[in-house]
Amino acid sequence: MSTSPAKDAPAAAASHTADKQAAFAKGLDGVIGGQTAVCSIEQDKLIYRGYEIHDLAAHATFEQVAFLLLEGRKPGEHELARFKAELIAERALHPAVTSFIESSAGWLASGRAVPMDVLRTAVSILAHTDPECQDNAAPAELRKAKRLTAKIPTIIGHMQNVIDARAIVGLERGGDPTLDHAANMLYMMTGKRPSADEARVMDVSLILYAEHEFNASTFTTRVISGTLSDMHGAVCGGIAALKGPLHGGANEMAMEMLKEIVNDVGEAGIGTSKVDDWMNNAFETKRKLMGFGHRVYKNGDHRAGILMGLGKKMADSIDNAGQPTFGALRAPRWFALGEQVQKIMLDKKKIHPNVDFPCGMTYFTMKIPVPQYTPIFVAARITGWCAHIIEQHSDNRLIRPLSIYTGPAEKKW
């Protein structure tokens, strides 16, 4: 028997809402947001385009991984040489970008802007200097991805020179063309060429940070490019998302947290129950401890162990060389504290460190200023973001999820 649509409406609406409630997951936790050939994250494995992260960290360079992510295959010898030459040729910045960076000195000094903000604006200006910025075709996007990969370390280097009130290092060519990508970024930041060890540790950290599937900032770039907006605009969105302390900003906050612990317990407190007391207080106040936990990994972040090992080895070597302390402690003491905090988190909360925890200590040991940790994360993740943007544009469907309405019931105006 046919019933009037009006009579059926409430039942239909109720079942529609029930279906939506069933499909709802706050923060899209566990929700499949799309398909990708770029990266696979499982509890037991992290894969970039088929290659496992431990294999890449041990045997590849960042330039090889950047090529792998952007082109979709491992580069041959000649392809790699050409790719490296293209990056070197594109390192220098347009004067409009450099003069913006120089003009940001006051905002950086006053704290009105942090380096992630200046990086975001610099990339936005970079778009105006890129002749292909409105072109979403794959060949143009690959060229733009290389230019962004080449220039972001230069923005970071010039910005650090401005913060240090020193002359811009490598203004003409974007650093030293004889140095590889990671080493040149460190050189531009300090004016000093890094040791082979420092260059390799930075290179591996860039490999570890390069790509991570549908994390918040990458998904942001896919949502923006999913409207057929341009690569630079999507990257600006990615930078804004990565800045947050729940995401990339955690590497800076993790180091600040360790400095806070040392400030509270003193160097003599490291290794004692004073650190346990500090952590218990953090647990009681429901404080989020930076550099720990992960939305996907519940048995540990594959990358954290790799970087912890490299960072610790570097700290021990620096201390053996009897180099001066930095911050309040000699280098290995930071790692001793880090290992104690890790153990307490695991024993008490069953929460593992993510890649940002060892990153903080490692970059601190390399005397990199803390506010540059997340910009360096961008210098790596730009390759993953661009790979996803190119993939989204090549097989696009607008990304537009639903929501459950919790506002007031319908009423007359």
Site string for ligand SDX, 289-308 (x = CB under 6 A): xxxxxxx-------------
Of 362, 377, 254, 351, the closest CA to residue 309 belongs to 362
- 153 C-beta neighbours (distance < 10 Å), count: 28
Q: Does 252 bind ligand SDX (CB under 6 A)?
A: no
| Residues ≥6 apart with Cβ < 8 Å to 288 | 246
Question: Do the beta carbons of residue 183 and residue 347 sit within 8 Å?
Answer: no
Of the candidates 212, 232, 294, 393, the residue annotated as catalytic is 294
Which residue number, 232 or 294, has a Cβ lying nearer to ligand SDX?
Answer: 294
Of the candidates 181, 203, 356, 388, the residue annotated as catalytic is 356
Site string for ligand SDX, 147-186 (x = CB under 6 A): ----------------------------------------
Question: Do the beta carbons of residue 136 and residue 227 sit within 8 Å?
Answer: no
Helix 250-265 and helix 331-344, axial crossing angle in degrees, nearest 10: 100
Round to whole Å and give the CA distance between 159 and 149.
16
Buried-state track 192-212, b at ≥16 Cβ within 10 A, e below 16: ebbeeebbbbbbbbbbbbbbb
User: Which of 243, 247, 302, 393 lies at the binding interface for ligand SDX (CB under 6 A)?
Assistant: 247
* Footprint (CB under 6 A) of ligand SDX, residues 331-370: 351, 354, 356
For residue 357, the minimal CB distance to ligand SDX (Å) is 7
Which residue number, 230 or 356, has a Cβ lying nearer to ligand SDX?
Answer: 356
For residue 413, the minimal CB distance to ligand SDX (Å) is 39
For residue 111, the minimal CB distance to ligand SDX (Å) is 22
**Annotation says 54 is catalytic:** no
Residue 46 sits at φ, ψ, to 5 deg, of -120, 120
Round to whole Å and give the CA distance between 121 and 377.
16
Round to whole Å and give the CA distance between 385 and 387.
5
Question: Do the beta carbons of residue 248 and residue 381 sit within 8 Å?
Answer: yes
Question: Between vectors from CA 116 to CA 112 and to CA 117, what angle results, nearest 5°?
Answer: 45
**Annotation says 135 is catalytic:** no
For residue 288, the minimal CB distance to ligand SDX (Å) is 4
Q: Does 212 bind ligand SDX (CB under 6 A)?
A: yes
Of 405, 373, 404, 395, the closest CA to residue 307 belongs to 373
Of the candidates 158, 181, 212, 247, the residue annotated as catalytic is 247
Question: Do the beta carbons of residue 217 and residue 242 sit within 8 Å?
Answer: yes
Q: Does 374 bind ligand SDX (CB under 6 A)?
A: no
Which residue number, 136 or 374, has a Cβ lying nearer to ligand SDX?
Answer: 374
Q: Does 230 bind ligand SDX (CB under 6 A)?
A: no
Number of residues near ligand SDX (by CB under 6 A): 18
**Annotation says 247 is catalytic:** yes
Report the residue number whose CB is nearest to ligand SDX: 293
Please give the residue ranges that form the binding site for ligand SDX (CB under 6 A). 27, 212, 215, 246-248, 250, 288-295, 351, 354, 356
Give the residue numbers marked as catalytic.
Answer: 247, 294, 356
